[in-house]
Structure 1
Amino acid sequence: MERFAQSADALAVALDADALPGVFGKRLVVPEGCVAWIEPEDAAARLAAPGDSVRGRFEAVLVKRADVALSFEFSGLAAADGHEVTAGLQLVLRLPRTEVAIRQLAATLLREQPALDHDRLRAYLAPAVRAALARHVAARALEPLMESDPRAALDEAIRAESEALLFDAGLELLELRLPSFYSEAFEAIRAARAAAELEAHRLAEQQRVQEMRARLERNERLKREEIEAFARRLRYQGVLEELELREQLDRKRFEQQVQRFEALYEKLGRDETKALIFLLDDEQLKAQLLRELIRRDMTPEQLAALRAEELERRVAERLAAFGAHAAEREGQRAQRVARSGMRTRRLLVAFGKQVLAFEPSAGERCERERYDFSGGPLGWVRSVRVVATRRGPAVVAGAQRGIYVVLDGETEPRALTLPREPRGRGGVNAAAAFGGYLYATHSELGLTRWDEYGLERPEPLFEAVTARNEATRGVQVSADGRLYFSSGPDIYRCDLVRPSHELVRFHGREGSITGFVLSEHEVFAGTGEGRVLRWSIDDPGSPRELNVRKGGPIYMLRLAEIDGAPHLLVGAKEHGITAVSLEQGRAFDYRAPEAIRWVDGATDFVYGVSRDGRAVHVWDADRLGEPRFVLRVPERIQDVWVQKEPMVREGPAC
Structure 2
Amino acid sequence: MPRFDLDRFTRDPQAVAAVTFASDVFPLLSRRVTVPASCLALAWADGDQPELLRAGAEIESGRWRRILIARTDPLPLTFEFRGLPSSDGFDFIAKVHLRVQLVPHRDELASFHRAVVGSGERVTLDQLQRHCEEVVRREAADFAGTRTAAELASVATWEAFDAALAERFKPFGFSSGLGLCADVRVEFASSAFEAARHDERFAEQRRQRLEEEASLRKMAAASREAHLASLASMLDKVRAMAGESGEARVAELIRTFDAGQRAQLYAGLLAQPASRRTALILLVAGDELLAVDPASPHQLAWRRRLEGDIGPLRSVRVMESVGARTVLVGARRGVYLLNGEFSLTRQFAFDQPASPRGGVNAAVLLGERLYATHSEAGLRRWAVHAAPGESGGAAAADDGTACLEQLTVGAKSVRDVQCDGAGAIWFSIDSRVAGWRPDSAEAPVLLTAPAEVTALCVAEGWVFAGLKDGRLLRWPTRAPHDLAELRGPTGHAVESLHWLPGGGIARLLAADRRPVLDLLVIGDAYRGEYRAAVPLRWAWAADDWIAAVNDNRDRLLLWRPSEPQSPAAIVPVGQLCGNTIQDAAMLLA
TM-score (normalizing by structure 1): 0.49
In the superposition, relative to structure 1, how do residues 550 and 314 fare at CA in structure 2: closer, same or farther (>3 Å)?
Answer: farther
Distance 2:286 2:444 in 1: 36
Could you tell me how far apart the structure 1 residues matched to 2:470 and 2:181 are? Answer: 70
Shift in alpha-carbon separation, 1:563–1:327, aligned structure 2, 3 A: closer
> How many angstroms does 1:385 deviate by?
1.1
Alignment of 1:151-550 (within 5 A): 238=166, 247=187, 249=189, 281-283=201-203, 325=233, 328=236, 341=275, 343-360=277-294, 362-364=295-297, 368-374=301-307, 376-387=308-319, 392-409=324-341, 411-454=343-386, 456-498=398-440, 500-510=441-451, 512-541=452-481, 543-547=483-487, 550=490
State the 1:279 CA deviation.
7.6
Q: CA deviation at 1:406?
A: 1.6
Q: Does the CA-based 8 Å contact 2:420-2:460 persist in structure 1?
A: no
Task: State the structure with more CA Rg.
Answer: 2
Deviation of the 1:379 alpha carbon: 1.0
Q: Distance between the aligned counterparts of 2:238 and 2:183, measured in 1? A: 71
How far residue 586 of structure 1 moved from its aligned partner, in angstroms, is 1.2
Shift of 1:393: 2.9
Q: d(CA) in 1 for partners of 2:482 and 2:235?
A: 45
Shift of 1:339: 12
Name which of structure 1's ranges 435-444 and 580-589 shifts more when overlaid on structure 2.
580-589
Q: Is the Cα–Cα contact under 8 Å of residues 508 and 542 in structure 1 kept in the other structure? A: no
Q: Answer whether contact 2:282 2:587 (CA < 8 A) is retained.
A: yes
Q: Residues 551 and 238 of structure 1: is their aligned pair in 2 closer, same or farther, counting only changes over 3 Å? A: farther
Name 2:508's counterpart in structure 1.
568
> Which amino acid is the alignment partner of residue 347 of structure 1?
I
Query: What is the number of equivalent residue pairs in this alignment?
Result: 381
Partner of 1:112: none
Match of 1:638 in 2: 582
Identity of aligned residues (%): 25
The one-character-per-residue Cα deviations of 1:485-542 (angstroms, maximum 9, x if unpaired) are: 10101111111232x11111122013x2111101334321122222222234344448
Structure with higher helix content: 1
Alpha-carbon deviation of 1:367? 7.7
Q: Is the 8 A contact 2:274 2:544 kept in 1?
A: no
Q: Distance in 2 between matches of 1:425 and 1:473?
A: 14
Contact preservation (8 Å) 2:501, 2:507: yes
| Mapped contact 1:530–1:552 kept (Cα < 8 A) | yes
The 2-side partners of 1:470 and 1:331 are apart by 48
How many Å separate the matches in 1 of 2:284 and 2:580?
Answer: 9
Taking structure 1 as reference, are residues 505 and 487 closer, same or farther at Cα in structure 2, changes over 3 Å only? same
* Amino acid across the alignment from 1:590: Y
Question: Partner of 2:526 in structure 1?
Answer: 586
One-letter identity of the residue aligned with 1:589: E
Rounded Cα–Cα distance in structure 2 between residues aligned with 1:389 and 1:324 = 33
Normalising by structure 2, we get a TM-score of: 0.54
Distance, in Å, in 2 between the alignment partners of 1:408 and 1:231 is 80
CA distance in 1, matches of 2:541, 2:356: 31
Which letter does structure 2 place at the counterpart of 1:523? V
**Superposition RMSD in Å:** 4.7
Q: Which amino acid aligns with 2:285?
A: F
* Structure 1, unpaired ranges of 5+: 1-225, 258-277, 291-308, 646-654
Deviations 1:291-321 (A, max 9, x none): xxxxxxxxxxxxxxxxxx9999898588589
**Range with bigger deviation, 447-456 or 390-399:** 390-399
Change (3 A) 1:236 1:632: closer
Contact 1:398 1:431 in 2 (8 A): yes
- 1:479 Cα deviation after fit: 0.8
Give the Cα separation in 2 of the matches to 1:585 and 1:313: 28
**Quick one: distance in 2 between partners of 1:249 and 1:242?**
23
CA distance in 2: counterparts of 1:626 and 1:417, whole angstroms: 41
C-alpha separation between the residues in 1 aligned to 2:185 and 2:386?
A: 88
CA contact (8 A) 1:389 1:434 kept: no
Contact 1:341-1:561 within 8 A present in 2 as well? no
